[in-house]
Each structure stands twice: as structure tokens, then as C-alpha cells.
A and B are shown apart, each in its own frame.
Chain A
Amino acid sequence: MLENEAVVDEIKAIVFRLQNEEYGVEVEQVKSIERLETITRVPKTPPFVKGVINLRGVVTPIIDLASRFNLPETEYTEETRVIIVNVGDIEVGLIVDAANDVIDIPVNAIEPPPEVVGGVKAEYLRGVAKMENRLLILLNLNKVLSMEEIQQLEQLEG
């Protein structure tokens, strides 16, 4: 029974690049992948909130994932993508350096995250998947987009 499950259970993940690391988010949470277009800045928001875009008639907030993780921001290039994710009733676009792959990850290849991976704190991570020749960091989007954290940040700044 256990063995069976181990064989069958896989999650499908969108793979994207941030700095030099590869990250994954579950396909179910991803609505679409967009090219970066003009962003309207929203005043008095945390620095990682880049603003809002017009996503086919829906005003969608955009956050810079690198900046969210306190990593140095990179320049936006032709490769830069916006991954539109849905978590609960929140819809947000994440700016990443590139996104171009979908892979199946066997659940048993996922290990709990070490304290810090690629500069990202463990609490934002679901785990690390060790595939044949690559290491994939799985994000815990609930935590990444958590309201409480944003509010805490605001208080710190205020």
C-alpha cells in the first residue's frame, strides 16, 4: 500500500528561475504565465509590491519574488515572466527571471527544506525536490502571500 502510493503520487509543478536557483509551484495554483507589461505603481506599499497590472480587465497586484525573499533584485529582461497564481481568494502575479518548464515530481523525492536555501528562509518553502541532476525548491505560496506578514512588515516600516 505504502509502496504503491509512493510510486503513484506525483505533483505537477511549474518550474521557474530566480537568480541562479530553480523553483517550483504546483500547477493547480498557477492561472497563467504572462510577459511583463507596464506596471502601475501603488504608493505606500512594501517595496516588493511592484504595483498592479491590467490582466485582461482584472486589476492584478504584482510582487517581485526576489525582493519578497530579500534577494537582490535583477534587471527585467526579455526572459522575465509574471506567474499569475491563485491562493485562496487572492490572485497575484509573481515576477520571476524566467519560466519555461513543467515537470512531474514524485512526492517521495521531496525533502523538508533546510534552514536557508539560496537565501530563502525555510518558512516560505514546502520542501526541496532532488531530481536526477537538478535541485528544485518548492514554494509554500500560502506563506509567501500571507497577509499577516505583509501587515507586520508594514508596521516595521511605519
Chain B
Amino acid sequence: MGMNQYLDMFIEESREHLQAINDNLLLLENDPDNVDIVNDVFRSAHTLKGMAATMGFEDMSSLTHQMENVLDQIRNHQIKLNSEIMDVIFQCVDVLESMVDSISEGGDGKEDVSDLVSKLEAILSGEFKSEETEVTAETGQASEETAGKEEAAQTTDFGLDQFEITVVKQSLDSGHQVYYIKTVIEEECLLKSARAYMVFNNLESMGEVIKSVPSVQEIEDENFDDAFEIVFITEKSEDEIRQSIESVSEIASVEIKKLDIDSVKAENDQVAATSTEVKQEENKKEVKKPGSNGKNGGKKVKAAGGKTIRVDIERLDVLMNLFSELVIDRGRLESIARRSGQHELMETVEHMSRISGDLQNIILNMRMVPVETVFNRFPRMIRDLAKELNKKVDLQISGAETELDRTVIDEIGDPLVHLLRNAIDHGLESTEERIAAGKSETGVVELKAYHSGNHVFIEIRDDGKGINRDKVLKKALDKGVVTEQEADSLTDQQVYDLLFSSGFSTAEQVSDISGRGVGLDVVKTKIESLGGIVSVESTPGEGSTFLIQLPLTLSIISAMLVKVEDETYAVPLSSIIETAVYKKDQIMHAHHQDVIDFRGKVVPLLYLKNIFEIPDGENPDRQEDEISAVIVRKGDKLAALVVDSFIGQQEIVLKSMGKYLVNLFAISGATILGDGQVALIIDCNALIK
């Protein structure tokens, strides 16, 4: 019962570790001899095991335990990594993921792992016979102790544990020094723990104490004799350390020994071999700062980031909603203040607007999540897909740190999966075809995210065969998407855009991967529902690029409010090029359509009154001989929306119209104005054909 409060944390952290394992395994697959990566995986597995054991998820801990044993032998070069072993480990991760899923859904995380465990055991015994006993004894002992106890991840009863050795190794690799320091305090010293504390304090200003015997806790409790031993990582020299320690009074002697990797290992092996002896003799314990548990295993080595807290996303949503209300009131206050003309009131309101503007930025920023959270599941997916299709694929991800609103992040995953699958299944040629075409065997799929203005762009590029115009056209004709006459006059770009029309799938064979009847039109619909745009470019023989443009945030947007008869509409600023007033005699006619000349371009006039069937108002606010128009764009197509008057630019809060009104024509949502009235937001994309 008491564990319940930790369950969420457990699930979250388990997912993080599994993700880390997945990522690292993929790296490892390309670089099988890199021990650092094995170590990373090992650490994550080790932490997982400790957490699972603590939470009482037996199957999970026994599986991770075996995984750990295998990994341990891999990094000690006792097992040679091959693709069969990789596959088994990947399977383990899959099973672990499903366990965590089951736990998060309230299940018990139980799953039959005996099959996998025996596979892992087979790897252990099959590849490795001569030294088996020794090695399993070592790792076995380490894991038994960790798995068995609550403090699994925190306490080990012998020398440096695997994690610490790794830390030492990495520190040595990155040019730090590792010292063994034995400090003896004068016998007659009264406040030994205080002196010891000062030593620690001095040391910690110069580097990191990764281990202390006796433990810091015991030292603080004055539960030690005169001496304590420390393993210390620093960039400073031996002399500086000595000076620093000796600057503390009542220190009898300081012994400093430089450690290298061999001595660390040797010490560890020896300690492990004689662990009972060591236990009695020294009762070593590991130093950990309070609150740090196994989680640090994965993170400690990385740069310690800023201080963070986890906040329930629902709370942020509530905050956002409350703030939206405030924005509406702000709008109301602004209009009242303007009307009243009172200077003081206007000043105060202006100040308030500025502050709430800042507040708005902060709140919106809090909701921003790096796209990494979506991207990081792709490498694994691509690996499996490539194997399945027998293609060689190199997925290159860049810009994973680009941030997007959480709402967008939650929705963007599926469309991206679809596009990536598409790129690999339809985009990339088979290995033979690639060789025949003189390309490298391995196809490159690039997934790129970047910021530009008020938008985030996500690009999916493949270096495959490109889009076959004739094939697309033939299909479109078959499906009746276009007529023969139309087909001839279409530009390449227009043909490519046909891919997004509904019921379209160019794969000749319906494969398991894509082409399940639902096509790119689903992707398009989804992205447009997020206020985004998707487009495609292609060069035959060189590949295709899908470009997704997404708004930075979905909740508050800038819009131009316009009036038509008695109704008010909002046009998102993102689709407006400019507003303009034209004399009636500037209007021209072409193909039964009113058009105007906008900087040398012929732009059709769309009368909102007609399009939205707006009833005549009481006293329309418009000029007889002029028209007011909002020039909007969709891609590079323009249109001029004819309105009666412009009200002005304003920040508006997007509100959903609920689930009852669906498939609305050219309306993307609603907002509440300062006077409490609802105004509809025009979806310019739907108006421009």
C-alpha cells in the first residue's frame, strides 16, 4: 500500500530507463565494441532491477537480473556481441515495456519471462564455459545483494560497484584524476566528525567524492575511529588536495594514492573475491547524497541539469484554462478603458496587459516539450521495419531539442510514424534496386525539426526513388480523383499533392507496413486539425521530402477581428498577408469571379457574406464605393476575404466547439471576445482551393 505513492514515479522512471536502453542498444548495434555504451545499458538495467525489486515486481527484476549478467559479460569481453544476442536483448526490452505498461494500467506486471530468462542463460553458458563459475559468482553475488534489499541501488557491501567503476573509468577517460585518500584524524580530537566534515567540504569544492569508508552517515554519527578512506575524482593535483586537507586542523596524516583503471579493477576483483573478509574488516559502504537513488545511475554522469520538478500535466492545463479566462477579461478591460478615456485607468490596464503578456509567455513555455519525446521511439521502430522489409536504413535525426506545445506533441506522433513508414516502405528502393541505380546500399531517411518564426517545421526526407508522376496520375484516374482533361494540365507539384487526397495509396502491394487503405489523407487531416500544413516535394531518382509546418502553440493565437454585417469573425494572423481597401472600380472579373490585382498577382475575391450566408445586419459598417479585404494565403495561393470592416488585431484564446458540431465548413474553432460574445475563427485553408 505504502508503495502506491511511488508507483507513478516508478513507472515514469522505468520508462525513461527503458527508453535509454533502447537508444543505447541501437547505438551499440552500429558500434558493437563500444564498452561505454554497454556500460550505459548495464547501468540502466541495474537501476531498473533495483527499482523493480523494491516495488515487488518479481518477474521484472528477475528478467533484468539476467539481462544484467549478460551485459556484464559483454562489457568484460567474455561474450562477443552478435546480432542474435542483440535480438534477445531487444526482446527483453519489449517484454519489460509491456510489463511497465501493464503496471501503469493497474496490472501486476506479471509476464512469463522463463523463456527469455532461459535464452539469456543459454547465452551465458553457451558462449562462456571456462570461467563461468568465477564470473557468475561475482555478478551473481552483486545482484543477489542488490536485488534482495530495499536499498538495492544504494548499498553494496563491497568495494566499488559496477556503477562506480564506470564513473571512475569515464572520469579517467575524460582526463580527470582519481585518488584514493586516507585521512587520519588526531586521536585526541574531540569533534572528529566535524573535522571529517570539513575535509569533505574542502574536497567537494574541488571534485567529487564517489566513495567513502565508513559512509558519510556513519562519519556524521561519529561512528568511526580515527581514519576514513575516500575515492575522489578531481582535476586538481595531488599537492593541492593534500594542502586542502591539511588546512583542516587536527589532521594527523593524509595518504594520497593515484588510481588508474587497472588498480580500480584489481581492487574490485580482489574485493569481490574476498568479499566476506572485506565485509568483516571494513564494512564498506557507498557514499550517496540523500535523495539520490538508483535514478542517478543513469544521469549522474551526464551534466547535472537545472533544478526541475515534475508537474502533473493536468495542473498545467487547469492553469492554462484559468489564464485563458484572464486573457478574455483583459480584452474586456482594455475595451472598457479605451471607451472611458480615463487616463489612470488606461495606464493601469496597459500595465496589467504587459504583465499578463509576460505571464502568458511563461505559461506557454511551461507547456513546451522537446520533440525528442516523440522522436526517440523512432530509431527502434525504423530498425524493426528495416529488418522486416530487408532494407538497410540509416535514420538521421536532427533538431530533436526543438520544442512544441504539449498538445501538438501528443497528436503529432501518429502522422510522423505514418510518414516515416511511408518513406521506408514506398520511398526507399530495395537494396538491389539501389545498387543497380548506383546508390549506396543503405538508404538515408532524415528526420529534421527546426524553428522558423511562429512555426515549427518537421521534415522527413528520404533519398529513395522519388514520386513517380505517371503512377500517381494513373492511380488518381483509376480512383476518379481527377479527370483525364485535368490530368494533362497538372503540374508535378499538383500531382504530388494528389497523394493527400482521400483513398489514395500508391503501393502496388498492400503491405503490413503502410498502404492499409488509410493513406496520407489521414496524415493531412490530422495535421490540419492541429493548425498545420503538410506538403511534399520530390525529385525523381533522388528522393522525396515531406514538410510539416506546425504552430508553436495551440491555445492562444494572434488574430484579426473583422466584422461582416452584425457578425464578428477572427482570422488567424498566421494566414494573413495584409489588409487592404480597394475602390469598387478596381475590381475585375475573370471566369465569373471577382478578382483584384494584388502586387501584380490576380487574387480572387471571396465575399464572406455570401460564403457564410450572413443575414443582413441593422446598420452595416461599410463604405458604398469601397471594399475592405483581408489578403490571406495558403501555401503560395492567395485570396482576398471581403469584409465590412476591420475591428483590429487581438490575442484570442482558442476554444473548442465541442463534439456536437463536427465537420464545420471553414470554421476552425471559436473564441470568446471581451464582451463575452463568441466569435468564430475562420479556417482560411478551407476557403482557398
Contact = CB atoms under 8 A, between A and B. Distances in A.
A90 B670 contact: no
Given A59-B672, A61-B658, A52 B678 contact: yes
A44 B665 CA distance: 7
B567 A40 contact: yes
A145 interface: yes
Nearest to A49: B661
Q: Which of A38, A45, A58, A59 has the most chain B CB within a 10 Å cutoff?
A: A59
Contacts of B661: 42, 45, 49, 52, 61
A66 interface: no
For chain B, give the interface size range: 20 to 34
Nearest to B608: A43
A61 B667 CA distance: 14
Contacts of A58: 655, 658
B309 interface: no
Contacts of A128: none
A53 interface: yes
A151 B678 CA distance: 24
Given A59-B655, A60-B658, A91-B660, A44 B678 contact: no
Given A45-B664, A52-B657, A40 B678 contact: yes
Q: Which of A41, A43, A89, A145 has the most chain B CB within a 10 Å cutoff?
A: A43
A96 B97 CA distance: 53
A151 B672 CA distance: 27
Contacts of B662: 147
A58 B321 CA distance: 10
A70 interface: no
B680 interface: yes
Nearest to B661: A61
A42 B51 CA distance: 55
B656 interface: yes
A91 to B, nearest CB: 6
B325 interface: yes
B126 interface: no
Contacts of A60: 658
Given A41-B567, A42-B667, A49-B661, 13 more contacts: A40-B677, A40-B680, A43-B613, A43-B614, A44-B666, A53-B678, A54-B676, A57-B655, A59-B656, A59-B670, A89-B659, A91-B658, A91-B659
A144 B169 CA distance: 71
B567 A92 contact: no
Contacts of B666: 43-44
Interface string A75-103: 00000000000000111100000000000
B614 A54 contact: no
A61 B656 CA distance: 11
B60 interface: no
B6 interface: no
Interface in B604-619: 611-615
A84 B655 CA distance: 18
A151 B662 CA distance: 9
B613 A44 contact: yes
B328 interface: yes
Interface in B288-341: 321, 324-325, 328
Contacts of B611: 43
Given A43-B614, A43-B665, A59 B678 contact: yes
Query: Lowest 3 A-B CB distances belong to which pairs?
Result: A43-B612, A40-B678, A44-B665
B222 to A, nearest CB: 61
